[in-house]
Amino acid sequence: MLNLLRMDYSMFALVLVLLACIEQSWATCVVDSFTVKQDFDPKRYAGKWYALQKKDPEGLFLQDNISAEYAIGDDGAMVAASKGRVTLFGVPDPANPGKMFMNYQGLASYLSSGGDNYWIIDTDYDNYAITYACRTLKDDGSCDDGYSLIFSRNPRGLPPPIQRIVRQKQEEICMAGQFEPVLQSGAC
């Protein structure tokens, strides 16, 4: 009888641990719980970045040779030109400069106008940057349609220690395993 009670208690404890893990994994996918780069410095971020990986949103999205050139305007707005196909304008939130709203205007009709909450999840300013945008939320606060780009200052890739940081951040934004490589052949 005592062994049966111990087994039931062990099974009960295992079920509680599993439920806690499931609840924790759901809770971390709530977009508002994602952290962005603390003390983000737009001036250090400015310059040329090359996309190495992307997780596309629904619909059409830039395909290859994606790069972005970020600059800070006199008004404090961050302006990014991306391969001439789309131009982004964003003003960092003074309370949380890693979060901004980016308006975009492009040459093609499917990129003609719009806007997204555009977050700098992490960067070291010299090697890598991880950006994130969620276009629509589900009722539970997780993202229904979002995208992310992994940028590098070098179009040839990132060293292994930084790749590990990037993979960890991809997990934190609930997009692990959803990225595809971006070809950087130098073509326009």
Per-residue pLDDT tens over the stretch 78-131: 887 776 444 555 666 767 778 877 666 554 544 445 677 889 999 999 999 999
Q: How much is the pLDDT for 25?
A: 47
Q: pLDDT by residue (tens digit) across 31-44? A: 999 999 999 999 99
Residue 34 corresponds to which tokens in the numbers above?
A: 């994602």
| Residues 123-127: contacts with CB under 8 Å, at least 24 apart | 123/37, 123/40, 123/45, 124/162, 125/41, 125/44, 125/45, 126/153, 127/152, 127/153, 127/154, 127/158, 127/159, 127/162
Q: Where does 34-181 sit in CATH, by number?
A: 2.40.128.20
| Residue 28: pLDDT band with limits 50, 70, 90 | confident
Cα 26 to Cα 140: distance, rounded to the nearest angstrom = 9
Q: What's the predicted TM-score (pTM) here?
A: 0.75
- Residue 19: HSE in the Cβ half-sphere, 13 Å Cα cutoff: 6
Q: How much is the pLDDT for 112?
A: 47
Domain boundaries, the chain: 2-31, 34-181
Residue 21 corresponds to which tokens in the numbers above?
A: 């893990």
Q: How much is the pLDDT for 20?
A: 47
Residue with the larger pLDDT of the pair 150 and 4:
150
132 has pLDDT over 90:
yes
DSSP label at 94?
A: T
Q: How much is the pLDDT for 182?
A: 87
CB of 154 within 8 A of CB of 188?
no
CB of 136 within 8 A of CB of 144?
yes
Cα 79 to Cα 5: distance, rounded to the nearest angstrom = 65
Q: pLDDT by residue (tens digit) across 46-68? A: 999 999 999 988 765 667 778 88
**Hey, which of 5-9, 107-111, 160-164 has the most confident mean pLDDT?**
160-164
Helices (H), the chain: 2-28, 42-45, 160-172
